[in-house]
Structure 1
Amino acid sequence: MNNHTVKKEVKIKGTPYQVWEALVNPQLTKQYFFNCEVISDWKPGSDITFIRKFLWMKYELKGTVVDIHPGKLLKYTLKNTGKEGSQSESIVTDTITFANGMTKLTIEDNVGNTEGAEKRFNKSEKGWDKVLGGLKELIENKNMF
């Protein structure tokens, strides 16, 4: 079986604190993460939910916080439900490092090996490019608050 893990990184002219806030603050995620607010109490084992509202429709993507070290690491699962009701789980790891006045955010998204993994991998790869570009723009243009 193939390992379907998307790995993306972006260097941002901002502090690790700013990047962290952009990852965990629902008012900020809404600005760059497909109009989704992220909701959690940010403790290992707690629920994490990405909520997107559009007109009268509400879309929720749910998972669990696996590991968290504020300003450094956020790891969580997300449940994926296919059109036929099939279930799979992604494991997303966000790692923040700082060097030479730049903050690097590395995202690893293991979409699993169940049926449809290749399609989820391709969709995830494109999605993370858009998300990371939006996050970088949000922080570097100081549109955070």
Structure 2
Amino acid sequence: MPEGHVATAVTTINAPPQRVWEVITDPAAVKEFMFGTELATDWKVGNPITWQGEWNGKTYQDKGEIKDVRPGQKLVHTHFSALSGQEDKPENYHTLEWTLEELDGSTRLTLAQDNNPTEEAAAHSKAMWDKLVADVKAIAERG
């Protein structure tokens, strides 16, 4: 992952990696665990990914690019949000890396986000990702 402080959230999910993969790549599930966002992508490396919705009364469309897709194992994409107030340029994008590890029928899900400018920003991101991976866990475990 590129530079900056990394925010990492980890959870163990009582479901196999394939089920967890289904949750993190299904637009209906993403809408549920990612703050009501509408996901659009074809999951092909090099192609765009977008999330759009409303946050605190403001409409937004975040964007990124698919970097790596290994079903049941790893998903890597970039992410930029205009809500950050930063200019849309490469150095203001984060890389999000979702790693799924099989553990005797369960899955360890790790979500890491790079390019946080400070420890405080990384801690803020970590808190958000901790909630998100907990929601992924709940969805995956309910079947």
| Ranges in structure 1 where 5+ consecutive residues have no aligned partner | none
Give the Cα–Cα distance (whole angstroms) in 2 for the partners of residues 119 and 86 of structure 1: 22
Root-mean-square deviation (CA, aligned residues, Å) is: 2.3
Runs of at least 4 residues off by over 2 Å: 80-87, 117-120
Task: Give the C-alpha shift of residue 21 in structure 1.
Answer: 1.1
Task: Give the C-alpha shift of residue 37 in structure 1.
Answer: 2.6
Task: Give the C-alpha shift of residue 19 in structure 1.
Answer: 0.7
Correspondence 1:33-44 to 2 at 5 A: 33-44=34-45
Does the CA-based 8 Å contact 1:72-1:96 persist in structure 2? yes
Task: Give the C-alpha shift of residue 72 in structure 1.
Answer: 0.8
Higher helix fraction (1 or 2): 2
Distance 1:99 1:46, change over 3 A: same
Deviations along 1:94-139, whole A, 9 cap, x unmatched? Answer: 01111222111111110244xxx45542321111011011111111
Match of 1:83 in 2: 85
Match of 1:6 in 2: 7
Give the Cα–Cα distance (whole angstroms) in 1 for the partners of residues 122 and 9 of structure 2: 12
Among the aligned pairs, what percent are the same residue?
26
Correspondence 1:5-84 to 2 at 5 A: 5-53=6-54, 58-81=59-82, 82-83=84-85
The two structures have a TM-score, normalised by structure 2, of: 0.84
Deviations along 1:69-116, whole A, 9 cap, x unmatched? Answer: 111110011124433647511011101111222111111110244xxx
Moved more, 118-127 or 13-22: 118-127
Does the CA-based 8 Å contact 2:13-2:141 persist in structure 1? yes
Give the Cα–Cα distance (whole angstroms) in 1 for the partners of residues 114 and 49 of structure 2: 17
Task: Give the C-alpha shift of residue 53 in structure 1.
Answer: 4.2
Number of residue equivalences: 138
Does the CA-based 8 Å contact 1:63-1:79 persist in structure 2? yes
Does the CA-based 8 Å contact 2:98-2:110 persist in structure 1? yes
Task: Give the C-alpha shift of residue 57 in structure 1.
Answer: 5.1
* Counterpart residue type for residue 9 of structure 1: V
Deviations along 1:16-70, whole A, 9 cap, x unmatched? Answer: 111111111111111111111321111110001112247x853211000011111
Moved more, 78-87 or 20-29: 78-87
| Ranges in structure 2 where 5+ consecutive residues have no aligned partner | none
Match of 1:132 in 2: 133
